[in-house]
Amino acid sequence: MIQWDSSWPVLSKDEEKEWLVDYINKRFGIPGSLFADYQFFCHRNSWHILKKSPYLSEGAKLKVSGHYGIKAFYKVGKYIKPTTRMIQLFGRYADRNIIFLTIEQAHCLLNEGKIYVAEEIEDGYVIIVIEKRYIVGLGLVIGGILFSQMSGNVKQLLKYMLMS
């Protein structure tokens, strides 16, 4: 058997999973029940999720090089930030803290890195949706300003979309 190493992910405690699921529910309205079939793992300041399986206990005996499930959250300062992939998978279930942008607004956000938002939104992460149907990722609202938090890959894809 391979000896456990502190750089490997650790199965999250039930309280930690509940805290993350509660956050995603309170912030975005994404139902906690969607995560009932997922196992949460903690690695430093990030959390990954993996679909529950009867084979997980066998897999736990193996050395993991960092690729397991999807990276779902990480801690950024005082905020917990869902990853782009997490929001692209589960964002369709959100019912709050969503900002709908037109193509023109998305273009401005992409070029300027920030735009002013007219609606009253509590400071924190928001889901960015373009043309009311494309969930592209996350932004951070602070004091009525939306700052782009989109990954490089999403920015490249968005540039391509905006050029068409």
Q: Do both 159 and 102 map to the same domain?
A: yes
Q: Do both 49 and 107 map to the same domain?
A: no
Mean pLDDT of the chain: 84
Q: Higher-confidence residue: 140 or 159? A: 140
Q: Shortest CA distance to 138 belongs to which of 161, 164, 109?
A: 109
pLDDT grade, residue 6 (50/70/90)?
A: low
Least-confidence region, from 34-38, 55-59, 89-93 = 55-59
Would you say residue 45 lies in a domain?
yes
Give yes or no for a contact between 126 and 97, defined as CB atoms under 8 angstroms apart: yes
Q: Do both 106 and 54 map to the same domain?
A: no
Would you say residue 18 lies in a domain?
yes
CA dihedral sign of residues 68, 71, 76, 78: negative
Q: Do both 38 and 74 map to the same domain?
A: yes
Q: Do both 77 and 112 map to the same domain?
A: no
Would you say residue 1 lies in a domain?
no
pLDDT of 55 over the 70 cut: no
Domain boundary among 57, 85, 113: 85
* Maximum pairwise Cα distance, the chain: 58
Q: Higher-confidence residue: 95 or 55? A: 95
pLDDT of 35 over the 90 cut: yes
| pLDDT at position 11 | 74
Q: Do both 50 and 76 map to the same domain?
A: yes
**DSSP annotation of 150:** -
pLDDT in tens, 63-113: 555 557 889 999 888 888 999 899 999 999 999 999 999 988 988 898 888
Would you say residue 90 lies in a domain?
no
| Number of domains forming the structure of the chain | 2
Task: State what percent of residues in the chain have pLDDT above 70.
Answer: 81
Q: Do both 116 and 149 map to the same domain?
A: yes
Q: Do both 48 and 104 map to the same domain?
A: no
Range of the domain at 145: 97-163
pLDDT of 2 over the 60 cut: no
What SS3 class is residue 65? Answer: coil
Domain boundary among 39, 57, 85: 85
Give yes or no for a contact between 12 and 69, defined as CB atoms under 8 angstroms apart: no
Q: Do both 68 and 122 map to the same domain?
A: no
Beta-sheet pairing, 98-101 with 70-76 = unpaired
Query: Which range has the top average pLDDT, 17-31, 44-58, 63-77, 124-138?
Result: 17-31
Residue 86, class by beta-carbon neighbours within 10 Å (0-12 exposed, 13-18 middle, 19+ buried)? buried
Would you say residue 148 lies in a domain?
yes
